[in-house]
Structure 1
Amino acid sequence: MRRGTNLPAVGGFNQTVILDLIRRSGGGLSRVEIAEQTGLSAPTISNVCRRLLEDGLIVETGKRIQGPGKPRVILELDPKSRFALGVHLDPAVVTYAVLDLHGDVVSHMRRRTPSSGRPAKTVTAMASAIDEVVARSGVDRERLLGLGIAAPGPIDAARGIVVDPPLLEGWQNVPLRDALADATGLPVLLEKDVTAAVVAELWRNSEREDFAFFYLGTGIGVGLALGGEVLRGATGNAGEGGTLVVSGDLPPKRRSDMLGHVATPPLLVAQAIDAGVLADRADPVDEMFAELVAAAEAGDTAATAILDRAARLIASSIVSIVNLLDVAEVVFGGPYWDRVADRFLATIGELVNSSAHRVTRHPVTVSTSSIGADVAAAGAACLVLDTSLSPRTSSLLIST
């Protein structure tokens, strides 16, 4: 819990402290409760709440009897007062989402990623799609706080550049943040996709503070939250889960023993083609992956073997993550996860908790993200919400 300060020069910080507290409360808070939880004086709380009411960020929703004295007026967040845009750039599909202040999706859509290898063409298509998803949402553009972009790494977050993602042809040192800011007129933030997914989980689930996030997209990522904060690493590129070395029943044809070379959806599709489960054709990976899963569900033994082996290899990687970081919860999500969740989740949980290689003895909880396949796009939007509305002690520093 972040506490406020009664110093006169930090009203902006106090405003975010109170707004964040009200947002996380669920059922709203009275001014007395805010004072008890923040340590702020009654005049400070009165002034801040007045500003928040005038800005439309909070509303008075009735009165509540709490002990002796007059009923207390309850303040709640108005989730429709502001909105944020999120875009997830995946090598297969670009996802767009508009979120309200609760982190609920108001409007979303998907478009296939252009395969031309020309980033400028993709940026133009993204800008057009952003206009479309905003129009569909019915949200007044003046109420948009900004645009967040979730992109595959590596990225240069400080300069807003997509550096050289291995699965996006032609994307070397692309200034994506500035290009979309120029095209849309919105403030833009750039984040790595798996990190954005962690941001979404933290924004939507205030009780969840320490967990790993296993991201199954065209590639594989592993994000981490500790103490309610996202671990980004020295350059913002933490989470390259595909480089984890795994052991066990590995596919015979592979570039290496790294997870990203044996268990990503494109490689599982390639394994299915080699096994005769799928025909060798140039259809999009997401469509062929869905066909592979459907074949396994229909009882195809070769398809079942491919997916079961992938689940075991992912479990092996999770054991390494648990041993290294001592996390007790792993959340799974990403564009491809929902298609295999029913098949993978229980198997992975059982293998992790029964593994002879696990050093820690506490049980490890595995779960599927409640946000769904659009978790990275939602996370990109939540990044905007978090940056705009969450308290940061750095704002208390005195500049000269």
Structure 2
Amino acid sequence: MNAPAPGVPQRRRGTNLPKMGDFNQAVILDSIRRSEEGLSRVELAALAGLAAQTVSNICRRLLDSGLIVEAGKDGSGPGKPRTILRLNPKGMYAVGVHIDPALTSYALLDAVGTVLFSVDEATELGIDPAQAVANMGTRILSVIEQSGVPFGRIAGVGVATPGPVDAASGTVVSPPHMPGWTRVPLRDILAETTGLTVVVEKDVTASAVAELWAWSGHAAANFVFVYIGTGIGAGLVLNDEVVRGSSGNVGEIGHIITDPDGPLCDCGRRGCVKVTCMPETVVGLAREAGVLPAHPVGEPAPALADELAAVARAAAEGEPSAVEILDNSARRMAGAVSVLTNLLDVDCVVFGGPFWPALAPVYLSKVPALVAALSVTTCVHSVEIAGTRLTSGEEAFGAACLVLEKSFNASAEQLLLDAKA
């Protein structure tokens, strides 16, 4: 196979074996996507380890389909100028839907991950779940129409939902805080309503995909994405690929013990993440301590996000009880995170999710040192602790990236499927 071109980072290599066209095409697309300046056919051949003719044939198909474009000549190197290839932003589009007990978010992305249209709406929990999902399908069609994007260029719909999920059937099983949503066939209902291909994943997995997409200019990544929403979960990326587990439910970390003397959990043990680190736990402790006013009986409860933000403001202003509550929360979270970093030997932990902004100042000041002290690999490498690179709304963005991931990313699973074709 050809050697990599100078200055071009190594990526997944393709294969010249028969019946591997889809895998090789994904290798080429992924390589072009990762390059900010674009790549020539010669560079692609070296990068992917493919024969020049194979690369030329694939690029011709991609050009004919409108997925890539020729973006001028590069004459900086020896020999004749090379034609640079880049993704065509208008070559394909994807819709993302993030379902939360409070809000359902929609986003429409182009092929390079630019958000062209987004909207948030209250989640319909007071009606039959199947009807609520059908209404989401109607809203998806409305989003596409409002965006002005040609329907034929929509590659599909990605749905991020609270777990657990049955990824094989595209079914949400029994998400917390969503009564009645038991084994709701999200994928089938949305596919029938929209006429589009639908991908269903846990919200933490979608967030990990979104973060990986944001890291696209980097070399192979190994990180845990800690999602702080109504619940807390973890997405996992190893060697630049999202790990999903045997049923698509990797990252259920709610029963990692962070405080053996902590509150009793419904699992029968004490001090689990579920009862020590959840945003509602922080808010409840703040109310007990008088940081937040008591909630009058019979009146609608304030939004959890607003109350958590109020606790964060009080801590920033030096209110002792608020400071203590958030410091304890950071300490407990660091204990849970260290279990993950020691087990998985990752380079980085990324925090995100809808409730992350309120916790970010305290967590980013406290968690790195705590994790370093608890890490068994400190003498070998450090573990970076970071906040998400994405702004609020990354969950819907990540849901749409689930569709782009299937189009651009060359996975071992895809290679095996192509081999069996």
Q: Report the TM-score range of the alignment, normalised by the length of the smaller protein.
A: over 0.9
Q: Secondary structure of 2:254's match?
A: helix
Match of 2:396 in 1: 377
Is it true that 1:149 corresponds to 2:164 in the alignment?
no
Q: Is the 8 A contact 1:92 1:284 kept in 2?
A: no
Of 310, 319, 326, 1:291 maps to 310
Q: Is the 8 A contact 2:68 2:87 kept in 1?
A: yes
- Structure 1's unaligned 5+ residue stretches are none
Q: 1:10 to 1:253 in 2, by over 3 A?
A: closer
Of 235, 253, 275, 2:247 maps to 235
Q: Identical aligned pairs, as a percentage?
A: 47
Q: Secondary structure of 1:347's match?
A: helix
**Superposition TM-score, scaled by structure 1 size:** 0.92
Following superposition of structure 1 onto structure 2, how do residues 1-400 of structure 1 map, counting pairs within 5 Å? 1-7=11-17, 9-116=19-126, 118-206=128-216, 207=218, 208-247=220-259, 250=262, 256-279=270-293, 280=295, 282-353=301-372, 355=373, 357-361=374-378, 362-391=381-410, 392-399=414-421
Q: How many angstroms does 1:220 deviate by? A: 0.2
Q: 1:5 to 1:318 in 2, by over 3 A?
A: closer
Q: Secondary structure of 1:133's match?
A: helix
Residue correspondences, number: 396
Q: 1:112 to 1:304 in 2, by over 3 A?
A: farther
Post-superposition Cα deviations, 1:153-199, rounded to whole Å, max 9, x if no partner, equal 11110011111123221111111111111222211011111111111
Q: How many angstroms does 1:259 deviate by? A: 0.9
Q: Is the 8 A contact 2:22 2:418 kept in 1?
A: no
**Letter of the 1:370 counterpart:** R
Q: Secondary structure of 1:147's match?
A: strand
**Letter of the 1:348 counterpart:** V
Q: Is the 8 A contact 1:254 1:262 kept in 2?
A: no
Q: Secondary structure of 1:243's match?
A: coil
**Letter of the 2:194 counterpart:** T
Q: How many angstroms does 1:121 deviate by? A: 4.1
Q: 1:324 to 1:165 in 2, by over 3 A?
A: same
Q: Is the 8 A contact 1:146 1:188 kept in 2?
A: yes
- Structure 2's unaligned 5+ residue stretches are 1-10
**Letter of the 1:89 counterpart:** I
Post-superposition Cα deviations, 1:35-74, rounded to whole Å, max 9, x if no partner, equal 2222333332222212111111111111112433211111
Q: 1:271 to 1:253 in 2, by over 3 A?
A: farther
Bigger shift: 319-328 or 126-135? 126-135
Q: How many angstroms does 1:304 deviate by? A: 2.5
Q: Secondary structure of 2:335's match?
A: helix
Q: 1:254 to 1:52 in 2, by over 3 A?
A: closer
**Superposition TM-score, scaled by structure 2 size:** 0.88
How far apart, in 2, do the equivalents of 1:282 and 1:114 lie? 18
CA RMSD of aligned residues (A): 2.1
How far apart, in 2, do the equivalents of 1:80 and 1:342 lie? 38
Q: Is the 8 A contact 1:13 1:395 kept in 2?
A: no
Bigger shift: 278-287 or 221-230? 278-287
How far apart, in 2, do the equivalents of 1:231 and 1:345 lie? 25
